[in-house]
Amino acid sequence: MGYRINKKLVQRVRRDEFLQIPPRAKKRVRRGCSTGYPTKAEHRNQVWAWDFVSDHTATGTIRTFNLIDEHTRECHCIYADRSLKSEDVLDCLEEAINNNGIPEFIRSDNGSEFIAKIVKDYLKDMGIKTLYIEPGSPWQNGFAESFNGRFREECLNREVLHGLREARVVFSEWRKFYNEERPHRSLQMMTPKEFARRASPRAGMEEEPIKLDQRQITIQSSPNT
């Protein structure tokens, strides 16, 4: 007929006989390898930062890819789509490089779009070093987080968007307002565009546009060359 025993006895026997079920191993999180030291941007095009923001329209969710210069606070890109892949990140980065020059570092979290092999290979080929923040530490990417907060507060939360095409137009207009009309206290009440015009890329350096791989990009060259 068996014995009537309680739950605690069963648990004690399992412990004594080492019959415990081992806990399930936690999933490993892939992390990007930083190729530079965390640094505070001291001049234009030294450190860029990129991140994603999610929102929704009347017809579905959207994601935006945001790219900023940490020194000038200038927003180089707000690209919106229903979903974004590593290839979209590279397309936006390439266009930003064509228009603004090549950054020394790019700071980001460990999102799959940022640590993908195709992205890391492209950055290595362009000589751009990566600065990946620690998982769960958004404050290490403070400039991007601050921009995302302004973008959400001043644009996303104020606009009723009916579709992707409308969202892209609205985001483009807000980015122009942010760069060219909105003064920043941290920039001595100048706009990012005005501050960027006054900020030199690097002491003793000047910009010289050249052709490389059939793309118009900007490199740094000495005044004596």
Burial 3-32 (b: 16+ CB within 10 A, else e): eeeeeeeeeeeeeeeeeeeeeeeeeeeeeb
> Would you state the pLDDT for residue 22?
73
> Would you state the pLDDT for residue 13?
83
> Would you state the pLDDT for residue 46?
95
The greatest distance separating any two alpha carbons of the chain, rounded to the nearest whole angstrom, comes to 98
Angstrom distances, CA of residue 139 to CA of 76, 107, 222: 21, 12, 36
Domain boundaries, the chain: 47-221
Among residues 121, 143, 138, 150, the alpha carbon closest in space to that of 39 is found at 143
> Would you state the pLDDT for residue 198?
85
> Would you state the pLDDT for residue 204?
38
Q: What is the mean pLDDT of residues 167-177?
A: 96
Question: Residue 36 has which token pair?
Answer: 């530079």
Confidence band (pLDDT; 50, 70, 90) for 19?
A: confident
> Would you state the pLDDT for residue 8?
86
Among residues 50, 44, 61, the alpha carbon closest in space to that of 147 is found at 50
Check the CA dihedral 14-15-18-21 and report its sign.
positive
Fold of 47-221: Nucleotidyltransferase; domain 5 (3.30.420)
- CA 220, distance to chain mean position in Å, is 24
> Would you state the pLDDT for residue 30?
72
Classify strands 105-108 and 47-57 as parallel, antiparallel or unpaired. Answer: parallel
Question: Residue 15 has which token pair?
Answer: 């412990």
- Spatial strand order in the sheet of 47-57: 75-81, 60-69, 47-57, 105-108, 129-132
Residue 21 reports pLDDT greater than 80? no
93-133 per-position pLDDT tens digit: 999 999 999 999 999 999 989 999 999 999 999 999 999 99
Residue 56 reports pLDDT greater than 60? yes
pTM of the model: 0.75
